[in-house]
Amino acid sequence: MDILAAEHIFGPDLGSLKGKTTRRKNTHVDMSKINISSELVSKYKDVILTVDIMFVNKIPYLVSISRHIKFITVEMVKNQKQATLIVALKQILSTYQKGGYKVVDILADNQFECVRGEMSELGACLNITSADEHVPEIERCIQTIKERVRSIYNSLLFKKMPNRLIAEMIYTSVYWLNSFPSRDGVSSTLSPKALVTVRTPDYHNHCKLEFGTYVQTHEAHNNFMAPRTVSALALCPTGNSQGGY
């Protein structure tokens, strides 16, 4: 019992992991999709999208949330220039299109006036707020994301963190916000992620590790004495069906 308790507390022996680990055989990947009512998709086929720029540690992120579906997207952008915003918005519109939806209206502030022509060509009408006004939905969404990120940030033991780690905190927070039904969304049983991507997280595959957990990852190796695993930190699930991180 003492040995089992020690393994539970401290984990497997590190030397054994680095010296004996072999790559596991890939398991069968379940690619089945969930069934979504065609009436639900048809009713909310035309999407009203709200967008804004969020800053975390002075780094800009383009955030969007749809008015009824409540699906959130976030992407780190290198700048706030017209070309950068257009590329990011096109990716968002493409994501909805793959799910059978069409973005018909985009609500934003004056900063997005420069993309009006490009969005119009894609069939999306841009509605800009008046001076000193903001879009309530996206403002509340940004506040929620920052609350989640702040909770993760202050639960870790690191005193200094690279920007990449903070970006992954944001992606993790959005991933899980999308994975559960929204309180004021269109369904009490289907998450925003399920409504748009027709896939939903699996507990056994996507809930294995907490953000910031120390792990040993198997790496390519040869017959020399180099370790077969590398110490790493678990970040966000990739979202694939087999549960990669």
Q: Look up residue 154 and give its two tokens.
A: 């202050």
The answer on pLDDT for 217 being more than 70 is yes
The answer on pLDDT for 27 being more than 80 is no
115, with CB counted inside 10 A (0-12, 13-18, 19+), is buried
Provide the pLDDT confidence category of residue 147 given band limits of 50, 70 and 90: very high
Nearest to 44 by CA among 32, 52, 36: 36
Domain covering 38-200 assigned CATH 2.60.120.10 in the classification:
no
Q: How high is the mean pLDDT of the chain?
A: 86
**Measured distance CA(162)–CA(89) in Å, rounded:** 26
Return the pLDDT at 22: 66
CATH 3.30.420.10 location in the chain: 38-200
* Share of residues in the chain with pLDDT > 70 (%): 89
How confident is the model over 115-141, as a mean pLDDT?
89
Nearest to 61 by CA among 45, 48, 49, 72: 72
How do residues 222-233 score in pLDDT, each as one tens digit?
A: 667 778 788 888
